[in-house]
Amino acid sequence: MTDITTVAELLRRGDAKLEAIGAPGRRPMNRGELMTLVDKVGGALRLVGVGAEDAVGIVMPNGPENAAAFLAVACWATAAPLNPGYREDEFDFYLADLNAKALMIHAGPDSPARVVAARRGIRVIELLPDDAGPAGAFSLSVSFGNAGSAHPAPEHVALVLHTSGTTSRPKIVPLRHSNLAASAKHIATTLSLTSTDRSLVIMPLFHIHGLIGALSSSLYAEASVFCPGGGFNALRFFGWLDEARPTWYSAVPTMHQAILSRAERNQEIVAASRLRFIRSSSSSLPPQIMKQLEDTFRCPVIEAYGMTEATHQMASNPLPPLPRKPGTVGIAAGPDMAIMDQEGNLLPRGATGEIVIKGPNVTSGYANNPKANAEAFTRGWFRTGDQGVMDVEGYISITGRLKEIINRGGEKIAPREVDEALMDHPAVSQVVTFGMPHPKLGEEVAALVVLKEGQNATEPELRDFVGGKLADFKVPRKILFMAEIPKGATGKLQRIGLAAKLGLT
C-alpha cells in the first residue's frame, strides 16, 4: 500500500461504513460521514478566505465535535487547538503569535477568545453541534461549500502547538502532514491497532497526546474513538468504560491514579471491561502505579515516551509477548534514538546523557526562532532536553529533565528517583519532588506528598523512610502534605516553578 503522507489520506483509507467517532448517548459517525463533513468544512474555510497555510485557532471543550473539527481543519488548513481555559491575555498572546486567520469556537458560551478575536480582526466561525446527527456532527455559522480536491501537500503544516513555556517564552512547533501521518502510523503499529479497536479519549484535544496518541492513531488503523464531552472526570470514567466498551485508553499518570482511586467502587464494570491494554505517556509512570493498574484491569500497561516536537511518540514499551520493563519508556518506536553528551558526541549503551531523536515524525524546527533551532539540533539530531540512559537491549530510562535536575551544592539529584522512593511508602499516594532555593547550596531537595485516604504519615517518618533507600544528600529536607498536587492543564506534574508557587523562596 502507498504510504499515507497527509491527514486527508489518513481519513480516506478504509471502508466508509466503519465506525469513526462515538460519544455518550449518540449514534456513531462512520468514516464516510466524517469525510463528507471534513470536505464541507474545507469548503467553508475556502469561502471565508482561509488557505492551506493559514492558522485556524480551535477553542472547544473535549467532545466528538472537537475531534471532528480538528480533523477537518487539519485536512484543509493549519489547525491550532488552544486550551479553552486560557485567560484573555493568554489567548491574545497565542492568537497573535500564530497570526491566526480565523477562530473556530462553540456557539453560545462566552469566551475571552471572542474578545481577542474581535479586537484583532480575526474571523470568528461558530460551531453549532447537531444533536440529531451522529456523534461529532455540526454546522457552522458560515456556509458549507465545495473545497475541491486540492488538499495541502505532505510538506504543508497541518498542526501548530506551543511548547509549555515553563522556563522560557513558549515556542511554536509546526508539524507537517507528513509528521502527523508518520506518528499516527508509528503508534498504530506499536499498539497493533485494527478496525476492531476502540479508544476511549480522555486526554484533552488541545494536547498532542490526545490529538495523535489517541485520535489520529486510531483513525490511521481504521479503528474508532469514543469522545465524552467536557474534561476528564474520574467519577464518570467508569460509566464511559461501561458504555463505550473500549479496547484501550491512553492517559497521563495523574489520570491513571485518579481512576485507580475509584476502581474499588466500580468492580463490576472493571470485571466486565474488554481493555486489552492501557497506555501511559507524557510523564513518568511510577512502577507502583503500573502494577496497580495491571492488577486492577488485568491487562498490560504500555508506557510510552512522547513530546510535541516529535508529534508525540518517540519510544514505547512493546505489547506482550515482548518484554515490558517497568521504570523505562521502552524502545525506539518510530524515530531513531540515541544518547548524546554535551559536546554532541553519541554515547555507548549504558552511558548517561541527553536523549536525542531524528525521523519522519520529528519537526523540522521551531517557527521564527533560529536561536532555539541552533540549540535544539545537533548534526540532524533533535535534543529532547531529557537526561537518560539506553540499556543493552535498547530500553530507555529517563532520569529527568535536564532543567529539572536538582543541583545541591554540585551534587546532582534526579527528582524521579526520589519520587519512586517515596512512592514505596504504604501511606503515600502521589509525590512530586522539586528543587527549592538554598542560600549556600543553591538548591535543596523538597517534596510534595498526597497521602492515601485514611492513611497517616509524618515528615520525619517519610524522611527516615527515604533515608533507608537513598543517599543522605537525596533525602528531601522539606516535605509538604497537600490534598492534591497542583497540575498543568493536561494533568502533568510541573516541577519547575513549584517552589515559588508554594512560597518556598
What's the mean per-residue pLDDT of the chain? 93
- The domain defined by 406-501 folds into GMP Synthetase; Chain A, domain 3 (3.30.300)
Same fold? 7-297, 406-501: no
Asked if the bond preceding 321 is cis, omega within 30° of 0, the reply is yes
* Burial environment of residue 387 by CB neighbours within 10 A (0 to 12, 13 to 18, 19 or more): buried
CB 146, CB 43: distance < 8 Å: yes
CB 472, CB 459: distance < 8 Å: no
Residue 491 is predicted with a pLDDT of 62
Domain 7-297 in CATH 3.30.200.20? The answer is no
Which whole number is the average pLDDT over 108-120? 93
Show the 3-state SS of 113-168: HHHHHHHHCCEEEEEEECCCCCCCCEEECCCCCCCCCCCCCCCCEEEEEECCCCCC
User: How far is residue 240's CA from residue 229's CA, in Å, rounded to a whole number?
Assistant: 11
Total Cβ atoms within 10 A of residue 407: 12
CB 368, CB 386: distance < 8 Å: no
Which whole number is the average pLDDT over 471-498? 83
β-strand pairing of 198-201 with 248-251: parallel
Whether the per-residue pLDDT at 166 is higher than 70: the answer is no
pLDDT digits (tens, 9 = 90+) for 6-20: 999 999 988 999 999
Which whole number is the average pLDDT over 293-316? 97
Q: Quote helix, strand, coil % in the chain, to nearest 5.
A: 30, 25, 40
CB 353, CB 347: distance < 8 Å: yes
Q: Which residues pair with 434 in a beta bridge?
A: 446
β-strand pairing of 352-358 with 336-340: antiparallel
pLDDT band at 490 (very low <50, low <70, confident <90, very high): low
For 442: left if phi > 0, alpha if psi spans -120 to 50, otherwise beta; the answer is left
Written as nine digits, the cell of 72 is 477537518
Buried-state track 290-324, b at ≥16 Cβ within 10 A, e below 16: bebbbebbebbbbbbbbbbbbbbbbbbbbeeeeeb
% of the chain at pLDDT higher than 90: 80
Written as nine digits, the cell of 168 is 522560557
Residue 1 is predicted with a pLDDT of 43
Sequence ranges of the domains in the chain: 7-297, 406-501
CB 328, CB 397: distance < 8 Å: yes
Whether the per-residue pLDDT at 93 is higher than 90: the answer is yes
Closest alpha carbon to 208 in 197, 199, 200, 217: 217
Closest alpha carbon to 20 in 273, 276, 226: 226
* Burial environment of residue 95 by CB neighbours within 10 A (0 to 12, 13 to 18, 19 or more): buried
pLDDT digits (tens, 9 = 90+) for 231-288: 899 999 999 999 999 999 999 988 999 999 999 999 999 999 999 999 999 888 888 9
Give the residue, 147 or 312, on which the prediction is more confident: 312
Map grid coordinates 540515541 to a residue. Answer: 338
* Residues 6 or more apart whose Cβ sits within 8 Å of residue 289: 253, 256, 257, 260, 423
CA triple 42-103-212, angle to 5 deg: 65
User: Among the ranges 280-284, 299-303, 400-404, which has the highest mean pLDDT value?
Assistant: 299-303
Q: What's 221's DSSP letter?
A: T
Whether the per-residue pLDDT at 420 is higher than 70: the answer is yes
